[in-house]
Structure 1
Amino acid sequence: MIKLLSRYGTHDPLSTAKLSRRAFLGGTVAGSALFLSGTPGQTAIQLADLRGSMDASELGLVPNAGDDQTAVFQRAINRAVENGRALFLPAGNYPVANLRFPSGTLIVGVPGRTRLIYQGGGGLLATAEGVSNVSLSGLTFDGANQTIGDHTEGLLHFVGVREISLTDCAVSGSSKSGIVLDRCSGRVSQCSVTGAAEAAIRSNEAMGLQIADNVIADCANGGIWVHRWKEGEDGTIVTGNRIERIGAKYGGTGQWGNGINVFRAHGVVISNNRVADCAFSAIRSNTGSNVQIIGNSCLRSGEAAIYSEFAFQGALIANNIVDGATTGISMANFMDGGRLAICSGNLIRNLSAEGPYPPQVSGFGIGIAAEADTTITGNVIEGAPRFGMLLGWGPYMRNIVASQNVLRACGTGIAVTVVEGAGSAVISQNIVQASQKDAIVGYRWLDKATRELDGTRDWSHLQVSDNQVSA
């Protein structure tokens, strides 16, 4: 990343618009040194990228001009691309709209101080479609909450771009989504997206995408969406992001209001994110097979913190922290084909029985819920007011193993379905302490149907053994 140290003294910081390209490349800016961060290899690449760059002011693009700069901005972009050079934008405000970025676009600004302000009449970036190698760094894109046209879904909209790179950019005030990427490959990293009226970052049918180390906050309907129009392999990696305060302005029962949302996309990796204060789920995967949800911190979710639901086949949910939610982790909808999961090493606590809508099915206040072909091992659950674990629902249970978990101070430690037609479950070597009602019991839908379970004498589909129960 390019960083300008603030040693301007009595100089106006915006006077960088008057700096020559020679001074910029020479490494001194009005008495300020130019530093390139990163490894020596990365620095060499950055220097190579910037060598021979074009200063926007040399092309007539003046920062802080009062009139619309779209035409001259577009000419500057085109000129830099035609010459195979980077375009450097000095600090300042640039009023623009409906820009297009051709293949080979490389624009570098001063992080936090080079601002492209949307003037209305379409979109800030109308489209970058069917191009390759577009790189934007150190730019702020301000939507100013202006109306965005019907032809685009976000303030920045990229379609079919091969190797998009957005780094160290800021996107704010979009009246739709912040960044939309349709059928794109590349990387969005170390950016901030705030105040979007829909989602912060929305990917559709990615072709090899990484969304990493971004800060996302105060968006009205979603944080990061990884969607596909048709179910299929996707492989997007979502890692190291900080996501906070995501609303559900459009209402519903979970399609909006999620920090990270996967829909119809298979093979997605969601790891090491911090997701807090979402109206619904911190992480929600709907019909996402082979999803990995690993090492995330999920705080104060308004509904289930981590959800793998509907027609998924394959979910690995491990080593996450859930503190505050109505349900900790749910792996559900065997009726619709939801099956095949590993749930291990998670810490779940401080759950609530009060949800964002009237309770449905089994209600709220559940630590872990699972239905089919799932192992649940090595988890610690404390303070689930209804059930520490809910195994199966009605006849929808098959091949569940719940072993070596700690369940403390829950309403009922473990509830398992005993409805006719339910498949097998093994419940063994768990510690159940200080349950308010029962330790391990059978349920028929919403009604308790057994005494405390120990052994399989009454229910041939259950093996319950070697559990440690204490007051």
Structure 2
Amino acid sequence: MIQRRAFIASVAASAAAGLFAPRLFAAPLAGMNGAELRGPIDAIAYKATPGTSDIKSGKLQAMIDSAARNNVPLLLPPGNYTVSNLTLPDNTRITGVPGATRLVYGGDGHLMTADKARRIELSGIVFDGGNRWLADYAGGLLQFTGVDEVLIDNCLIAGSRKHALQLERCGGRIERSRISGAAEAGIYSVQSAGLMVTGNSVEDCGNGGILIHRWEKAEDGSSVTDNRIARIGANGGGTGQNGNGINVFRADDVLVSGNRIADCAFTAIRANSASNVQVSGNQCLRSGETAIFCEFEFEGAVINNNLIDGAANGIAVANFDKGGRLATVTGNIVRNLSLTAPYAQESGFGIGISAEADTLIADNVIENAPLWGLKLGWGPYLRNVVATGNIIRHAGIGCVVSVADGAGSALISNNLFQEMEKGAISGFRWDKPASGDLAAGNSEFPQLTIERNRVV
């Protein structure tokens, strides 16, 4: 009797033979009218063996060009390929063995670039920059310009002296990849066309994690979701232009959701002049400055259901003086803040949530904010801010509201304050106290409605 395992093995062998026989042995089919049956191009067929330098031979470039021209993928077997200055034509598809196929940058310019292509696809490849010099024209180890669809999946990009991955005027999807050790940013995208960055790990980069920028303020439509970002430095200095896990600059209609961001020198998520941004469901741990920051010329920000543990400030919706307005800040947990930050500022640090204009702050929990739990307005920059249904525990002052000359209206109601060191609700003129505790009642400032708050 034939044993079960032997029978299964014989069936599998027969199936494999049937699958590969037509490609290897069969004569051309008469009914194809000259059309070819094409399979993938294998690096071995071009004698581009791993473990040797291909900087001058151009064998890998020839394979890339041939595969793209014939509309087939290029398969690279495991091993190290030392290469430089590769140019990817339209329709390039390169696939390696994840973690085992390594393209090692040999220096003398750049590793890989593509320009004005419809589609470029890379998967299962390690790109190792070796921290080697990149030419002045190269913004990143991998650089794509004007590519309609860049698809990078299950790759590792490490050791770039500049950005690891730079995309200019590109769309597509960067996913399931690991990026580490870039001297600048892990991913720098400018003028995106609905780029999706999802499920990646970005770690140990010198100046930024994932950057979604534009040269001028306009619709962008990118999404940055479900990434893990950690240990982002600010080696370039400054007061916020570097050191951010996710930075959205002048790019409207961007979604930032489901990311875990830890140990950034400045901000976990910073949206600068970015309208209609949605920041939802992120974990922001141990930020050096403000964990979530919406600033400068923006209109429209939804900040909801985020968890912030450890930062100098929790959430800031700022710069009404520059046009920053119109936001909701709801359902967030903000806790364990610090009085110290990378620089000094007039209003100080240790603030849970702050906002200035046309903003709803509702249903948040703030705990351990050593300066203020809530900050409503700054100087004359206060208009139509509502703070309701929040829980503030253990803060210096529970809620500070601007009563400076020119400050507008605010509604503070139905909040719960517990363990306040210096009072529950206080009016301030800039950084100076201007009232006693207003939680018990307010007759001095008619622009403020303060009611039904509880202090325990």
Q: Which residue matches 2:8?
A: none
CA-CA distance at 1:80 after TM superposition: 0.9
1:408 matched to 2:393? The reply is yes
Q: Is the aligned partner of 1:147 residue 2:133? A: yes
- Using the alignment, how far apart are the partners of 1:193 and 1:177 within structure 2? 10
Distance 1:258 1:114 in 2: 31
SS at match of 2:349: coil
Question: Paired residue for 1:451?
Answer: 436
1:426 counterpart residue number: 411
Q: Deviations over 1:170-224 (max 9, x none)?
A: 0000000000000001000001110000000000000121000000100000000
Match among 269, 288, 291 for residue 305 of structure 1: 291
Q: Which residue number in structure 2 is paired with residue 388 of structure 1?
A: 373
Residue 343, structure 1, aligned to residue 329, structure 2: yes
The equivalent of 1:92 in structure 2 is: 79
Distance in 2 (CA, whole Å) between partners of 1:311 and 1:162 is 29
Partner of 1:398 in structure 2?
A: 383
**Identity percentage over the alignment?**
52
Larger of the two Rg values belongs to structure? 2
Aligned counterpart, 1:114: 101
Output the amino acid matched with 1:79: S
Shift of 1:61: 1.2
Mark the runs of 5 or more structure 2 residues left unpaired by the alignment: 1-15, 21-36
- For residues 120 and 272 of structure 1, the distance between their equivalents in structure 2, rounded to whole angstroms, comes to 37
For residues 149-184 of structure 1, the C-alpha deviation after alignment (integer angstroms, 9 at most, x for no partner) is 011100000000011100001000000000000000
TM-score normalised by length of structure 2: 0.91
- Count of residue pairs brought into register by the alignment: 424
Tell me: CA distance 1:341–1:298, structure 2 relative to 1, closer, same or farther (3 Å). same
Which deviates the most, 439-448 or 193-202?
439-448
Does the 8 A contact of 1:87 with 1:107 survive in 2? yes
Quick check: 1:70–1:98 contact (8 Å CA) kept in 2? no
> Matches of 2:57 and 2:423 in 1, distance apart?
68
- Aligned-residue offset at 1:60: 1.9
Query: Is 227-236 or 447-456 further displaced after alignment?
Result: 447-456
Post-superposition shift, 1:52? 1.3
Query: What secondary structure does 2:182 align onto?
Result: coil
SS of equivalent to 1:416 = strand
1:315 aligns with 2:301: yes
CA contact (8 A) 2:225 2:257 kept: yes
Give the C-alpha shift of residue 106 in structure 1. 0.7
CA deviation after TM superposition for structure 1 residue 68, in Å: 3.0
The corresponding residue for 2:205 is: 219
- Per the TM alignment, residue 255 of structure 1 is displaced from its structure 2 partner at its CA by 0.5
2:216 to 224, 227, 230: 230
What letter matches 2:346 in structure 1?
A: V
3-state DSSP of counterpart to 1:64: coil
Task: Give 3-state SS (helix, strand or coil) of 1:395's partner.
Answer: coil
The one-letter code sitting in structure 2 at the alignment partner of 1:436 is E
Q: Distance in 2 between matches of 1:141 and 1:70?
A: 19
- Three-state SS of the structure 1 residue aligned to 2:361 is strand
Q: Secondary structure at the match of 2:109?
A: coil
Equivalent AA in structure 2 for residue 308 of structure 1: C
The equivalent position to 1:364 in structure 2, one of 345, 349, 362, is: 349
Residue of structure 1 equivalent to 2:88: 101
SS of 2:420 mapped into structure 1: coil
> Does the alignment pair 1:246 with 2:250?
no
Aligned equivalents of 1:456 and 1:53: distance in 2?
76
CA distance in 1, matches of 2:265, 2:168: 26
Pair 1:289-2:275 in alignment: yes
Q: Deviations over 1:128-147 (max 9, x none)?
A: 01001110000010001011
Question: What is the CA distance between 1:51 and its match in structure 2?
Answer: 7.5
User: How many Å separate the matches in 1 of 2:354 and 2:54?
Assistant: 58
Structure 2 Cα separation of the partners of residues 398 and 59 of structure 1: 68
- State how far apart, in whole Å, the 2-side matches of 1:82 and 1:426 are: 65
Q: Does 1:280 align with 2:263?
A: no
Tell me if structure 2 keeps the 8 A contact 1:175–1:196: yes
Say whether the 8 Å CA contact 2:54–2:83 is kept in structure 1. no
Deviation at 1:361, TM superposition (A): 2.4
**Alpha carbons 1:70, 1:99 under 8 Å: kept:** no
1:147 alignment partner, SS class = coil
1:196 to 179, 182, 194: 182
CA distance in structure 2 between the partners assigned to 1:67 and 1:394 by the alignment: 63
Give the corresponding residue for 2:149: 163
Matching residue's letter, 2:102:
R
CA distance in 1, matches of 2:57, 2:229: 32
CA RMSD of aligned residues (A): 1.5
- Correspondent of 2:316 among 322, 325, 330: 330
2:53–2:83 CA contact under 8 A, matched in 1: no
